[in-house]
Chain A
Amino acid sequence: MNIDRRQMLCGAGALAGLSLISARAMGSVRLAASPVFGGEVPRTLVLLQLSGGNDGLSMVVPYADDNYNRARRTTRIVEKDVLTLDNYRGFHPALTRLRAKYEAGQLALIEGVGYPNPIRSHFKSYEVWHTADPRGRSSGEGWIGKLVNAAWPESRDPNLVVHIGKNVPYSLYSLTHPPASFATPTGYKWAGDDTRRAALEKGGEVCEHGETEVEREPANNLEYLRKVLRDGQASSESIRRAAIRYRTKAEYDEDELAQALRDVAALSAGQIGSRIFSVELSGFDTHSDQKNRHDTLMRRLDASLSTFLDDIAGTEAGKNTLVVAFSEFGRRVKENGSNGTDHGVAGPMFVAGEAVKGGLYGRHPELAKLDDGDLIHTTDFRSVFATLIQSWLGVDATRVLGTKYPLLPLLRA
């Protein structure tokens, strides 16, 4: 039905891949032709952004370090509460289920992650993370945008990159592959009857020489808008279908992050062509009252993410999904006078999933050797990204990051 309508509009060839049906057909062609993806279910990556500057020292606590205990008079987590990993560090007390994942070898913790000449502005630092480039936005598209161009340049699948939540991170910004994005699949549609929907689709399309502008970068905002409208219309039904049909025994909380991860599980199971998912947990900017606020966030993180990992465990999606958690910066080692901490620099990242080779990676920054009160990073975040790009998705990481970064052995052979 869709194809007929499109064919009438612009001619068959140019439009393959635009409708839901042909998008799926394209998907299988693409997979078969691509040497890096073996099985039926393609490998996917879930980006979990901890927004606001996660206090790494409260997530992975160096409880045995006197420097930590001295610097954190009111916000420290004492030894008896910590979920110890070894005789130096331990998880935040709320991370019980994630510690179990760690012990099961499904969580890789990378310590001391940051980048040279760190920026303590939330926004500028996120730009660096989101573009994997110290120039931030002025360097162009987000790193996922660059990845998509390198990995799946021919894809027209509107579900390829999916953000679930309110604010789309800049990492997903792409001129050629804007993400499908929604806070909840319920109501993710243009509500009008088929006749009107057909008229809107036709009205939003411009074909020149049998070629729609989806084939090239949008020259202006109008073309960009047409692309987003078309992607929205095309992704709306498949995403709602996957979400509504998904059944699970997992008990997800009524929590924004938990519900978003439930949608990730649903969309993965629905095999609607998604390769990159993005979700967010925000509220980490704990300048004051840190203990209460950070504890709550850790509880939410633990419950949401563990439920998700349990939900997909043992399925094809479980084997083929990797979650990477990151934050724009860590926080100052010495707490401020408001029972909180100010903007800092390096912090831990973690990667979770069945394909992960769990354990500790990187090196914990020395608390005795600070740079003007801040931790000195020991691993560049782009090493982690490069590993995900190259070892997980099979794409030459220098094509995305521009520079070669050492890969980490985060994955099982």
Chain B
Amino acid sequence: MRSIFQGLAPLFLFAAASSLAPSVAEAQGDASSSQARKQDTPAMAGNAWDARAIEHLLNRAGFGATSADIDAAMGVGREALLARLFQGSDAETKIFAISEPKRPTPEERRAMSEEQRKETYNRLRRDDNRQLLEYSAWWLDAMADDQHPLRERMVLFWHGFFTSSAREVKNGEAMIRQNQLFRTHALGSYADLLHAIVRDPAMLIYLNNTKNTRKAPNENLARELMELFSLGEGHYSEQDVKEAARALTGYTQIDAQFIFNRRQHDEGSKTVLGVTGALDADKLVDILLEQDACPRWVAGKLLEHFEGRVPPAERIEDYAKFLRKNDYRIDAFLKRLFDDPLFYGPDVVGQRIVGPIEFMVANCRRVGVIPPGNVIAAAATLLGQQVFGPPNVKGWDSGRAWITTSTFLQRGNLTGMLLGVTSMEDIFKEDPSLMMDLDDSGDGAMSGESKDDPMDPMEKPRAKPELGSGGRAMGAGLRQMESGRWRRTLDLRGRCRAAGATDDAAIVDRLAQDLLAVELSPEARVALVDYLRSEREALGIAEGKLLDKKAYGESELRQLAHLILSLPEAQLN
């Protein structure tokens, strides 16, 4: 698999010749460099940082480090690695060119019949929807191909921070342009982004600012701008919201292009957070950026995202000061964070519950098969994270909120589909015994239906399984996942053989090492080794011989991998 770290070989040689030589030699000399690394506490004193620290960094800065990534990055100096993270890969050439819809001119419109007009606009809408789906797939591809993982992660972060949803915006082109805005400023200045977001067409539609006029102010954007995009609740008054709404009047859009409608703009004097003047959107944003609450809010969100915990107040304060001093530069902020020993501390490493997109992309990469982006997007939607469809203006709640009893089970099912060991029918077809069979405890505490009244399964069937708002596209994505033509390259047997893992425990260790970001608990390891042994013995194959013949092994390993990726440990990084 291509990865930005595979291109590091020249740097690696360079580093080997430099003062870093001893640690590099150690890393190289240790054939099992990525073996058993997860037990270790990361060490990053001076320049000698170890595999665990690198794995942690790559997991948090990107979308799931593979063993190959880690091995490739081992021994490279921290600075070279960081530089690469912030620059992305040279090989990166992907761009998505928006195709402008061919809207009829007013003259053409007038010449059309009612029927033609309807047809034209229906077609425009269909094309617009299709383009957004293409873009979603393109974006997931970009996350998975790993040419600039840190940027893609930040684009996803901003998408959850400056939220807009295609469901309300109903304009795919505007959603794509907003995402491209996040891409432009992903690692740039938050201040620039805040200035840009108050003239972003998708945002103006999403938060009703297109309806915000001098005569009839609409507070929606003004409120969320302060509550969610800059200060946090409690750092402004209701009067500030009303006055800020006036400053934002006239900021609107036509056909996914920003326009400033001077006639609808309230040019009168406003007072926001103690500053009085004929404020417009830019002056309003400048006032927000000057508040102490602003860098605190942004720093807190970034720390929580990358560290996976609610940061201590003094840590937020420290990073807020740094952020402000560095003109709100996100790259400076993250460089400092990735260099901070506390980021590699035991309460951070391996403690974070990963979100659905990250879960799917990371598992695709670690399993070693990358389905098309629309397939990954469909899976993530089923798990509660639909790109361009966040649940509300606050974006997605993270951490434990990702995990419910059902999303946990479905995470397992989707990795089963990824590995080709679970079908949609396995998931959705109901077990007939549930209908017929009375409860096996024998206590007879049933729903009041009598045993001699067998249920006709055709009577009032339940609604079809709800696949979420992605609807048809998602169903298609999952069916594609099931068909899995892209799965040809999956070869767990070859991978284990190449690593010399042939007996049961070694196979379990190898796969757990490759597929998990954290160490397998001893109990889970015992359960998995027991499982593999009983599977092997059922085939009548002796210990250590499971992978000898081509006819055996792969299917058992895929089942084993499915179990590993269904474990609690697989939800963490």
Alpha-carbon separation in the docked complex, A224 to B308 (Å): 15
Residue of A nearest to B227 (CB): A121
User: A25-B443, A196-B562 given as contacts; is B528 within 8 A of A203 (CB)?
Assistant: yes
> A342 in the interface, Cβ–Cβ < 8 Å?
yes
User: A182-B406, A189-B409, A244-B434 given as contacts; is B223 within 8 A of A202 (CB)?
Assistant: no
Evaluate contact between B566 and A200: CB separation under 8 angstroms: yes
Alpha-carbon separation in the docked complex, A120 to B241 (Å): 11
What count of chain B residues pass the 8 Å CB interface test?
83
Partner of B449, one of A183, A220, A245, A340: A245
Q: How far is the CB of A211 from chain B (nearest CB, A)?
A: 14
Evaluate contact between B216 and A221: CB separation under 8 angstroms: no
Give the interface centre of B216, B394, B416, B524 by most chain A CB atoms within 10 Å.
B524
> B80 in the interface, Cβ–Cβ < 8 Å?
no
Alpha-carbon separation in the docked complex, A120 to B208 (Å): 17
> Which residues of the partner chain B approach A287 to less than 8 Å between Cβ atoms?
208, 211, 218, 220
Residues A316-362 near B (CB distance < 8 A) = 316, 336-338, 340, 342-343
Evaluate contact between A190 and B413: CB separation under 8 angstroms: yes
User: A192-B422, A221-B353 given as contacts; is B445 within 8 A of A28 (CB)?
Assistant: yes
Evaluate contact between B465 and A24: CB separation under 8 angstroms: no
> Which residues of the partner chain B approach A166 to less than 8 Å between Cβ atoms?
384, 391, 468
> A391 in the interface, Cβ–Cβ < 8 Å?
no
Evaluate contact between A337 and B434: CB separation under 8 angstroms: no
Evaluate contact between B462 and A186: CB separation under 8 angstroms: yes
Give the interface centre of A180, A203, A232, A237 by most chain B CB atoms within 10 Å.
A203
> A229 in the interface, Cβ–Cβ < 8 Å?
yes
Evaluate contact between A288 and B208: CB separation under 8 angstroms: yes
Partner of B392, one of A122, A158, A196, A288: A122
Partner of B523, one of A190, A207, A228, A340: A207
> Which residues of the partner chain B approach A231 to less than 8 Å between Cβ atoms?
405
Alpha-carbon separation in the docked complex, A14 to B569 (Å): 23
Alpha-carbon separation in the docked complex, A372 to B384 (Å): 39
> Which residues of the partner chain A approach B67 to less than 8 Å between Cβ atoms?
none
> B9 in the interface, Cβ–Cβ < 8 Å?
no
Interface string of A185-226 (1 = CB under 8 A from B): 111111110011001101111110000000000001110111
Partner of A245, one of B233, B397, B435: B435
Q: How far is the CB of B366 from chain A (nearest CB, A)?
A: 18
Evaluate contact between A190 and B409: CB separation under 8 angstroms: yes
> A76 in the interface, Cβ–Cβ < 8 Å?
no
Evaluate contact between B434 and A21: CB separation under 8 angstroms: no
> Which residues of the partner chain B approach A315 to less than 8 Å between Cβ atoms?
448
Evaluate contact between B441 and A229: CB separation under 8 angstroms: no
Evaluate contact between B351 and A220: CB separation under 8 angstroms: yes
Q: How far is the CB of A238 from chain B (nearest CB, A)?
A: 8
User: A182-B405, A337-B211 given as contacts; is B400 within 8 A of A247 (CB)?
Assistant: no
User: A244-B430, A337-B218 given as contacts; is B409 within 8 A of A195 (CB)?
Assistant: no
> Which residues of the partner chain B approach A237 to less than 8 Å between Cβ atoms?
434
Q: How far is the CB of B226 from chain A (nearest CB, A)?
A: 10
Residue of A nearest to B405 (CB): A232
Q: How far is the CB of B405 from chain A (nearest CB, A)?
A: 3
> A56 in the interface, Cβ–Cβ < 8 Å?
no
User: A199-B528, A225-B353, A247-B460 given as contacts; is B427 within 8 A of A271 (CB)?
Assistant: no
Residues A232-266 near B (CB distance < 8 A) = 232-233, 235-237, 240-248, 254, 256, 259, 262
Q: How far is the CB of B242 from chain A (nearest CB, A)?
A: 9
Evaluate contact between B406 and A124: CB separation under 8 angstroms: no
Evaluate contact between A372 and B405: CB separation under 8 angstroms: no
Evaluate contact between B567 and A244: CB separation under 8 angstroms: no
> B85 in the interface, Cβ–Cβ < 8 Å?
no
Evaluate contact between B465 and A186: CB separation under 8 angstroms: yes
> B276 in the interface, Cβ–Cβ < 8 Å?
no
**How many A-B pairs fall under 8 Å by CB?**
235
Residue of A nearest to B221 (CB): A287
Evaluate contact between A191 and B213: CB separation under 8 angstroms: no
Residues A119-140 near B (CB distance < 8 A) = 119-124
Q: How far is the CB of A340 from chain B (nearest CB, A)?
A: 8
Evaluate contact between B218 and A226: CB separation under 8 angstroms: no
Give the interface centre of A191, A235, A242 by most chain B CB atoms within 10 Å.
A191
> B345 in the interface, Cβ–Cβ < 8 Å?
no
> A163 in the interface, Cβ–Cβ < 8 Å?
yes
> A17 in the interface, Cβ–Cβ < 8 Å?
no
> Which residues of the partner chain A approach B413 to less than 8 Å between Cβ atoms?
187, 190-191
> A178 in the interface, Cβ–Cβ < 8 Å?
yes
Evaluate contact between B422 and A191: CB separation under 8 angstroms: yes
> Which residues of the partner chain B approach A413 to less than 8 Å between Cβ atoms?
none
Evaluate contact between A123 and B394: CB separation under 8 angstroms: yes
> B219 in the interface, Cβ–Cβ < 8 Å?
yes
User: A182-B404, A206-B521, A222-B572 given as contacts; is B435 within 8 A of A244 (CB)?
Assistant: yes
Partner of B219, one of A119, A247, A342: A342
Interface string of A77-93 (1 = CB under 8 A from B): 00000000000000000
Evaluate contact between A229 and B408: CB separation under 8 angstroms: yes
Alpha-carbon separation in the docked complex, A184 to B430 (Å): 13
User: A181-B406, A195-B531, A222-B568 given as contacts; is B218 within 8 A of A338 (CB)?
Assistant: yes
> B215 in the interface, Cβ–Cβ < 8 Å?
yes
Evaluate contact between B405 and A179: CB separation under 8 angstroms: yes
> A105 in the interface, Cβ–Cβ < 8 Å?
no
Q: How far is the CB of A385 from chain B (nearest CB, A)?
A: 23
User: A185-B462, A200-B567 given as contacts; is B447 within 8 A of A270 (CB)?
Assistant: yes
Q: How far is the CB of B538 from chain A (nearest CB, A)?
A: 9
> A144 in the interface, Cβ–Cβ < 8 Å?
no
> B498 in the interface, Cβ–Cβ < 8 Å?
no
Give the interface centre of A28, A163, A168 by most chain B CB atoms within 10 Å.
A168
> Which residues of the partner chain B approach A220 to less than 8 Å between Cβ atoms?
351
Residue of B nearest to A332 (CB): B219
Partner of B403, one of A185, A225, A246: A225
Partner of A228, one of B397, B403, B427: B403
Alpha-carbon separation in the docked complex, A32 to B220 (Å): 52
Evaluate contact between B445 and A24: CB separation under 8 angstroms: yes
> A296 in the interface, Cβ–Cβ < 8 Å?
no
Residues B205-234 near A (CB distance < 8 A) = 208, 211, 213, 215-220, 223, 227, 233
Give the interface centre of B443, B462, B468 by most chain A CB atoms within 10 Å.
B462
Alpha-carbon separation in the docked complex, A116 to B508 (Å): 57
Partner of A199, one of B213, B430, B466, B527: B527
Q: How far is the CB of A235 from chain B (nearest CB, A)?
A: 6
Evaluate contact between A1 and B440: CB separation under 8 angstroms: yes
Q: How far is the CB of A217 from chain B (nearest CB, A)?
A: 13
> A269 in the interface, Cβ–Cβ < 8 Å?
yes
> A167 in the interface, Cβ–Cβ < 8 Å?
yes
Evaluate contact between A203 and B465: CB separation under 8 angstroms: no
> Which residues of the partner chain A approach B534 to less than 8 Å between Cβ atoms?
195
> B548 in the interface, Cβ–Cβ < 8 Å?
no
> Which residues of the partner chain B approach A187 to less than 8 Å between Cβ atoms?
410, 413, 427-428, 465
Interface string of B523-542 (1 = CB under 8 A from A): 11001101100110000000
Interface string of B426-454 (1 = CB under 8 A from A): 11101100110001110101111100000
> B238 in the interface, Cβ–Cβ < 8 Å?
yes
Evaluate contact between A184 and B227: CB separation under 8 angstroms: no
Alpha-carbon separation in the docked complex, A204 to B567 (Å): 6
16 inter-chain pairs at a CB distance below 8 angstroms, sorted by A residue, are A28-B443, A121-B233, A158-B405, A186-B464, A192-B422, A196-B559, A196-B562, A224-B400, A224-B403, A228-B403, A232-B404, A232-B408, A259-B462, A337-B213, A342-B218, A343-B219
Measured CB to CB, the residues of A under 8 A from B are 1, 20-21, 24-25, 28, 119-124, 158, 163, 166-168, 178-192, 195-196, 199-200, 202-207, 220-222, 224-226, 228-229, 231-233, 235-237, 240-248, 254, 256, 259, 262, 269-271, 287-288, 315-316, 336-338, 340, 342-343, 372
Known pairs A192-B416, A235-B405, A316-B448 / 10 extra A-B pairs, C-beta < 8 Å: A124-B227, A191-B413, A192-B422, A206-B523, A221-B353, A224-B403, A225-B572, A231-B405, A232-B406, A244-B462
Q: Which 3 A-B pairs have the closest CB atoms?
A: A337-B216, A232-B405, A225-B568
